[in-house]
Structure 1
Amino acid sequence: MRAPTGHQYPLRLESEGSVVTAVITEVAAGIRALEVDGAALVETFAETSSPPGAAGIVLVPWPNRVADGRWMLDGEPQQLDLTEPAKGNATHGLLRNTGYRLLEHEAHRVLQAATVFPQHGYPFLLETTVQHELVPDGLQVTHTVRNDSARSAPVAVGAHPYLRIGDVPTADLVLTVDVETRFLTDERQIPVSEEKVAGTDFDLTQGRRLGDIAIDHGFGGVRVTDGRSRQTLDAPDGRRVELWADENFRYLQVFTPPAFASVDGPRLAVALEPMTAPADALNSGEGIRWLQPDETWTLRWGIRRCQAPSSDFGAHLPSIKLGS
């Protein structure tokens, strides 16, 4: 029986005394597994399953949601297919169920491509690639998007990894998110306003234990230092996993489902989703990149294992639930 996520591409790199392995999927160019020296850095799901909670998939040509699947292009209404019918949204772009074409596969990397063809609500032709490349401390992901349309096309990119640190319970990990704002949303998780996080319960810049919070929010003002943003998970034993992204990714979604369907059964998990635009960006225009005909956009992010300074761990606030 074929896997629901298509062909599985195993990757392996032995370098600098470490062994890094991963499994990348044909469908949605997804990350199904990533380990450094046998310790998982992402939530893994079974080969016989579809990605639970969109785990590891690529989000193009928009991340997150479009309200009613409806937006305006040069004064003309555009109607996308509703892929989140319960909330009346189009969600996670147009490639989440697409099988990518294999371009190159080596022991430590795989390069895949997919086309976004003109369709309901998105009358543009895009050529995209995704390269997953192992490095000594983790994984680097490189995206390209080329506009093959005759006119400029609105584009945003995102990804949907769920991070972990080996067998450490997610509830015991400390999440640090270096952002300036968060989006307030309606009941369909569509932004209605934006506020500063400093001094609020949503300020995660000093670290919060994941067992003490429940959250599904978009954040803006992602801080970039030396060309990269950095969001981290810290374990009590000093291990750290970092989600990094280049300066194109100025938005982040944080999601902590209490019953993620992992290979070990339902468990608390945490998705850290780098995004170049927030939810409903086709309507707000915020973060949208208008690619000119024949223009190519290249952007990168990754996941790495690193050691946390001992003074970083344990900056906890009282337990709260971070609701919408």
Structure 2
Amino acid sequence: MTTSIPADPTGRRFHLVSPDGRVTAQVAQVGASLRSLEVDGRALIPPYPDDVPTPSASGITLVPWPNRIRDGRWTQRGETRQLPITEPKTGSASHGLLRFMPYQPTDAAADMSATASSVTLAATVFPQTGYPFHLETTVQYTATSDGIAAVHRLTNVGREDAPTALGIHPYFCLGGVDTADLALTVPASSFFELDDRLLPIAERPVDAVNDLRAPRRVGDLDLNVAYGEIARDDDDRVRCALEAPDGQRVTLWLGAGFNHVQVFTMNTYPGHELALALEPMTAPPDAFNSGQHLRWLAPGETWKLEWGVEHTPPIDHW
């Protein structure tokens, strides 16, 4: 067997193309991350160099919890557990147990050099220190006519109820438009006040600094905020949007079960002066302690969750 040097630090890549050819995407093996997404040649996810490990959790799946657990220690149902500290600067266990793990295609014959409209990747959370539960997880990505749709399934294959939560960590851009000039909308009426370790103190109504219910210019924001009380449309989906001055728009939609969105702006994303993450989460930071929106899966139970990205062309495109 011959291995190319240097090897891709994000693992194998799976290439997706929509049936009409308008949408292309790449899914990386490590963390089942959505590495790239383009519609009609317009990038919706900021690219990063091939030799760079997934930067700032870009596109990865966060399971069995998103965000942070204070001191890596959690107590539920009379039991206290201690997880390894994976983010030393905040003294927390961050972003679950599969962040750096390779997922495997469910089709053993899947060829990373070939293209298809869909791929399903699977990974197991085995019982371990601080999380003595056993989960089988899958994520299916499908290239659609205007973006991508994702379906996650978490199944408890252990003998006792398992606490679970899910998040995803995508960053977004819009077809070469300066990210600072995009207008962001998130239909949330509450946010979590954080301490200096980025851990929650209290959930409060949004204020003038972090209210995103009306469009706000991204370049005017400096946020690392978890939101709650997110409003749903008539189809029971939550929609967060980024819109360019020309009317071009990317919409992140969230199906049932997603109760929170983390908004994160940063200036250290490789090759980009400004990057914006919109992170769907079923539960807020430190949910293993608060219990808020924490889902307990019974043995044999499967939890299905859906989200996706849709692109609307510029006004003059029509």
Question: Shorter-chain TM-score: which interval?
Answer: over 0.9
1:121 to 130, 144, 152: 130
Rounded Cα–Cα distance in structure 2 between residues aligned with 1:63 and 1:269: 19
1:259 to 247, 268, 271: 268
Q: Which runs of 5+ in 2 are unaligned?
A: none
- Kept in 2: contact 1:234–1:308 (CA 8 A): no
Deviations 1:250-285 (A, max 9, x none): 100000002211xxx242010000000000000000
| Map of 2:54 onto structure 1 | 51
Structure 1 length-normalised TM: 0.91
Amino acid at match of 1:13: S
Rounded Cα–Cα distance in structure 2 between residues aligned with 1:308 and 1:65: 38
2:163 to 141, 154, 171: 154
Deviations 1:79-111 (A, max 9, x none): 001110111000000000111111135611110
Q: 3-state DSSP class of the match of 1:140?
A: strand
| Map of 2:86 onto structure 1 | 83
1:31 to 20, 31, 34: 34
1:222 to 221, 224, 230: 230
Q: How many residues align?
A: 304
- Kept in 2: contact 1:224–1:247 (CA 8 A): no
2:245 to 217, 227, 236: 236
CA RMSD of aligned residues (A): 1.4
Q: 3-state DSSP class of the match of 1:171?
A: helix
Rounded Cα–Cα distance in structure 2 between residues aligned with 1:43 and 1:178: 24
Deviation at 1:166, TM superposition (A): 1.0
Amino acid at match of 2:132: P
Structure 2 length-normalised TM: 0.93
Identity of aligned residues (%): 47
Rounded Cα–Cα distance in structure 2 between residues aligned with 1:303 and 1:44: 16
Q: 3-state DSSP class of the match of 2:230?
A: coil
Deviation at 1:46, TM superposition (A): 2.2
Amino acid at match of 1:7: R
Rounded Cα–Cα distance in structure 2 between residues aligned with 1:90 and 1:250: 21
Deviation at 1:202, TM superposition (A): 1.5
In the TM superposition, what are the counterparts of 1:288-303 in structure 2 within 5 Å?
A: 288-303=294-309
Rounded Cα–Cα distance in structure 1 between residues aligned with 2:296 and 2:208: 34
Query: Any runs of at least 4 consecutive aligned residues in structure 1 with deviations exceeding 4 A, and if so which?
Result: 307-310
Amino acid at match of 2:219: G
| Map of 2:66 onto structure 1 | 63
Deviation at 1:31, TM superposition (A): 0.9
Deviations 1:45-85 (A, max 9, x none): 22221111100000000000000000114323200011101
1:5 to 3, 7, 10: 10
Q: Which runs of 5+ in 1 are unaligned?
A: 311-324
| Map of 2:22 onto structure 1 | 19
Q: Does 1:135 align with 2:150?
A: no
